[in-house]
Amino acid sequence: MNGSTDMPALYLDACATSPPAAEVLEAMAEVHRNAWANPSSLHGFGVAAAEVLERSRCSLADLLGCDSEELLFSSGGSESIHLALLGVAAALPPGRLLISAVEHPATLAAAEQLRRQGWQVVNVPVNHLGQVDRAALEPLLAAPTRLMSLIWGQSEVGTLQDIELIGGLCRAAGVLLHVDAVQVVGHRPLQFHTLPVDLLSLTAHKLQGPRGIGALLVRQGVPLLPLIGGGGQERGRRGGTEPVALAAGLARAVALAHGRLQAHGGLDPLEELRDSLLESLLALGGLELTGPDPRRGEVRLPHHISLLVSDQRGRPLDGRALVRAVRVSGKDAIQFSQDTEQLAQLIAQQAQDGDVVMCMGAGSIGTVPARVLALQATASGGQA
Ligand SMILES: Cc1ncc(COP(=O)(O)O)c(C=O)c1O
């Protein structure tokens, strides 16, 4: 780590949380000032807040390709996942839930609750790239399977599942599919109505939005009972006074991400940076990419790199305990960050000191707003 204090640190942990965009902060400040009332109140202050809330919902629905009635606000990815699994299960007779072997702990926790309620929970195996094994999945889709939950973009090794294919199989078998799209929203175009998916979870803080808000998309007609009762908010499906400013922040963050994708022909501009950084890193030796390898045409999250760092004897280093931030200092952080070879050198120097480097996302790379390249030592199996 460089001892200099006058240079900004390079933030490479955006798959855990991305720094909120300035536009997001501004949108939220405006709401805190002018639409701070309870959106359920019938007076003018309440109506102003309700208008902002519903405008945010409509904007999100428009960008994500769903109807506004299909979008529920939640506190984030973990809550959305719990609402999807437990809320759907509560409306169905007990059956079998399929999850993949590479789910986020939030899904594992919700599945465990269902297991205690009498559901059978089965892990569908994945191949060496973390992709669901189709041959193993197909027979499992038979009765009594009623529901499947699948992580679309894997936060540790960057695997992207073929949601169209798996959703098609689920549809054909009459199995409802929930997708954890927490790492995907904002990094690739997504139109809910065109996907063979029944429920989809997302969270704001992975795409330059605020922490404390997410959403669950629920296709019309999918049975869902609330986990939290209360004042009838969110059409009776999630009680609690809505955080209007956070909703506006989420809407702004998704709009920014959408604009970025549109400006780059539907591709995440981070993908190019990811590839050039990856190339520079791997050229140094001692680092091994985990998960899909874009150099072999394998598809992975466009903003994500996961690396196994070996010691000088070639033994993989044990992750979490050794993880530390890489701080960048030099003449010019922006210029530096554009020079991925230099960045790679710096990371390698750190790694040669006997560290596992774990860094994901970046504060700023060139003109790309915050959040970037994911470099994650996966030796520990720690979760983003
Ligand atoms: C794939 C995935 N799912 C779910 C979550 C949980 O989201 P949240 O932190 O908003 O609860 C995360 C965040 O770590 C994640 O990476």
User: Which of 104, 208, 303, 360 for a ligand 1 pocket mutation test, highest count of atoms within 8 Å of Cβ?
Assistant: 104
Where does residue 212 rank: exposed (0-12), middle (13-18), buried (19+ CB within 10 A)?
middle
pLDDT at 322 over 70: no
User: Which of 82, 206, 360 for a ligand 1 pocket mutation test, highest count of atoms within 8 Å of Cβ?
Assistant: 206
Looking up tokens 């139109």 gives 191
Each residue of 84-140: pLDDT tens digit? 999 999 999 999 999 999 999 999 999 999 999 999 999 999 999 999 999 999 999
Whether residue 13 has its Cβ less than 6 Å from ligand 1 = no
CB count in 10 Å sphere of residue 86: 18
Cβ atoms of 149 and 89 closer than 8 Å:
no
Nearest by Cα to 118 from 92, 142, 143, 138: 92
> Residue 29, Cα to own-chain centre: how many angstroms?
25
Each residue of 279-307: pLDDT tens digit? 887 887 778 888 999 999 999 999 998 88
Whether residue 106 has its Cβ less than 6 Å from ligand 1 = yes
Each residue of 242-267: pLDDT tens digit? 999 999 999 999 999 999 999 999 99
Whether residue 376 has its Cβ less than 6 Å from ligand 1 = no
Q: What is the pLDDT of residue 334?
A: 28
Report the distance separating Cα 60 and Cα 150, nearest Å. 22
Looking at ligand 1, which atom is closest to the CA of residue 81?
4
Pairing of strands 305-309, 374-377: parallel
Q: What is the pLDDT of residue 287?
A: 80
Q: Phi-psi region for residue 292, left (φ > 0), alpha (ψ -120 to 50) or beta?
A: beta
Each residue of 192-224: pLDDT tens digit? 999 999 999 999 999 999 999 999 999 999 999
Report the distance separating Cα 261 and Cα 373, nearest Å. 16
Whether residue 214 has its Cβ less than 6 Å from ligand 1 = yes
Residue nearest to atom 2 of ligand 1 (CA): 182
User: Which of 107, 155, 184 for a ligand 1 pocket mutation test, highest count of atoms within 8 Å of Cβ?
Assistant: 155
> Residue 128, Cα to own-chain centre: how many angstroms?
21
Indicate the residue type of 307: L
Distance of CA 303 from the midpoint of ligand 1 (Å): 15
> Residue 102, Cα to own-chain centre: how many angstroms?
14
Nearest by Cα to 360 from 323, 331, 334, 335: 323
Looking at ligand 1, which atom is closest to the CA of residue 154?
1
Q: Helices 22-34 & 44-64, crossing angle to 10 degrees? A: 150
Query: DSSP of 169-236, one letter per residue?
Result: HHHHHT-EEEEE-TTTBTTB---GGGSS-SEEEEEGGGTT--TT-EEEEE-TT-----SS-SS-TGGG
Report the distance separating Cα 39 and Cα 57, nearest Å. 13
Assign 305 to helix, strand or coil. Answer: strand
Nearest by Cα to 252 from 52, 12, 36: 52
Residue nearest to atom 9 of ligand 1 (CA): 77
Q: What is the pLDDT of residue 312?
A: 67
Nearest by Cα to 243 from 205, 219, 210: 210
Whether residue 104 has its Cβ less than 6 Å from ligand 1 = yes
Walk me through the domains of the chain, giving residue ranges and CATH numbers. 35-261 (3.40.640.10), 270-377 (no CATH)
Mean of the per-residue pLDDT values of the chain: 83
Residue nearest to atom 5 of ligand 1 (CA): 77
Confidence of residue 80 (pLDDT cuts 50, 70, 90): very high
Alpha-helical runs (H) found in the chain: 22-34, 44-64, 77-90, 105-116, 134-140, 163-173, 244-263, 270-282, 319-322, 333-338, 340-352
> Residue 299, Cα to own-chain centre: how many angstroms?
16
Residue nearest to atom 7 of ligand 1 (CA): 77
Where does residue 7 rank: exposed (0-12), middle (13-18), buried (19+ CB within 10 A)?
middle
Report the distance separating Cα 156 and Cα 2, nearest Å. 27
pLDDT at 26 over 70: yes
Whether residue 209 has its Cβ less than 6 Å from ligand 1 = no
Distance of CA 362 from the midpoint of ligand 1 (Å): 18
Distance of CA 325 from the midpoint of ligand 1 (Å): 21
Report the distance separating Cα 67 and Cα 141, nearest Å. 28
Average pLDDT over residues 228-237: 95
Report the distance separating Cα 359 and Cα 343, nearest Å. 12
Distance of CA 384 from the midpoint of ligand 1 (Å): 7
pLDDT at 10 over 80: no
Mapping DSSP onto H, E and C, the string for 106-136 reads: HHHHHHHHHHHCCCEEEEECECCCCCECHHH
